[in-house]
A and B are shown apart, each in its own frame.
Chain A
Amino acid sequence: MSISPVTIVCYLLGISAVVGLNAVILVWLERKVAGHMHFRYGPMEVGPHGLLQTLADGIKLLGKQFLVPDAADRPLFLLAPVVSLVPIFVAMVPLPLGETLQAWELNIGLLLVVALGLLNTLGILLAGWGSNNKYALLGGSRAVAQILAYKIPLLLCILTIIMMAGSYSLRQIALAQKDGWYILYQPLLFIIYIVTITLETNRSPFDFSEAESELVAGFHIEYSAMGFSLFFLAEYSYMFIAAALASILFLGGWQGPFLPGPVWSLLKLYGIIFLLMWFRWTFPRLRIDQMLHLGWKILLPLALVNFLVTAGVLAL
Chain B
Amino acid sequence: MSAPPTYSLESTDNGNFLLNLGPQHPGTHGVLRVVLQMDGEYILAADPVLGYGHRMQEKIAENMTYLQALPYVCRMDYLGAMSYSLAWVCAVEKLCSFEVPERAVHVRVMACELNRIASHLLWWGAYLLDLGAFTPFLQAFADREQILDLLEYITGSRLTYCYFRFGGLAADVDDVFLRRVEDFVTGFRQRLPRYHDLVTGNVIFHHRSKDVGVILPFEAAGYGVTGPCLRGSGFAYDVRKCEPYSGYDRFEFAVPAEQEGDCLARYNVRMAEMEQSLAIIEQAVATIPDGPYRARVPRVIRPPAGEVAMAVETPRGELVIFMVSDGSTRPCRVKFRVPSFANLSIFARLARGQLLADALAILGSLDMVIPEVDR
Contact = CB atoms under 8 A, between A and B. Distances in A.
Interface stretch (B125-133, B268-276, B318-326): B125-133
26 contacts: A37-B135, A38-B138, A39-B138, A39-B139, A138-B356, A212-B132, A213-B129, A213-B130, A216-B25, A216-B26, A282-B135, A283-B132, A283-B202, A283-B204, A284-B131, A284-B132, A284-B205, A284-B208, A285-B131, A285-B204, A285-B208, A286-B204, A286-B207, A287-B207, A287-B208, A290-B207
B19 interface: yes
Interface string A28-47: 00000010011110000000
A285 B205 CA distance: 8
Contact of B26 (A213, A286, A289, A290): A213
Contact of A288 (B135, B138, B205, B355): B355
B134 A211 contact: no
Interface in B13-35: 17, 19, 25-27
Contacts of B17: 134
A204 B133 CA distance: 8
Interface of A: 34, 37-40, 134-135, 138, 141-142, 204-205, 207, 211-216, 281-290
Given A204-B133, A205-B132, A213-B26, 17 more contacts: A39-B138, A39-B142, A40-B138, A134-B19, A141-B40, A207-B132, A211-B132, A212-B132, A213-B132, A214-B27, A214-B360, A216-B25, A281-B134, A284-B131, A284-B132, A287-B207, A288-B357
A62 to B, nearest CB: 27
B34 to A, nearest CB: 13
B135 A287 contact: no
Contacts of B204: 205, 283-286
Contacts of A207: 132
Contacts of A281: 134-135
B172 interface: no
A179 B228 CA distance: 59
Contacts of B199: 284
A244 to B, nearest CB: 27
A135 B202 CA distance: 28
A188 B348 CA distance: 44
Interface string B255-293: 000000000000000000000000000000000000000
A288 B26 contact: no
Contacts of B27: 213-214
Nearest to B363: A213
Interface centre among B133, B205, B207, B357 (most CB of A within 10 A): B357
Interface string B97-130: 0000000000000000000000000000000111
Given A204-B132, A214-B27, A287 B357 contact: yes
A85 B360 CA distance: 32
Given A39-B139, A281-B135, A214 B208 contact: no
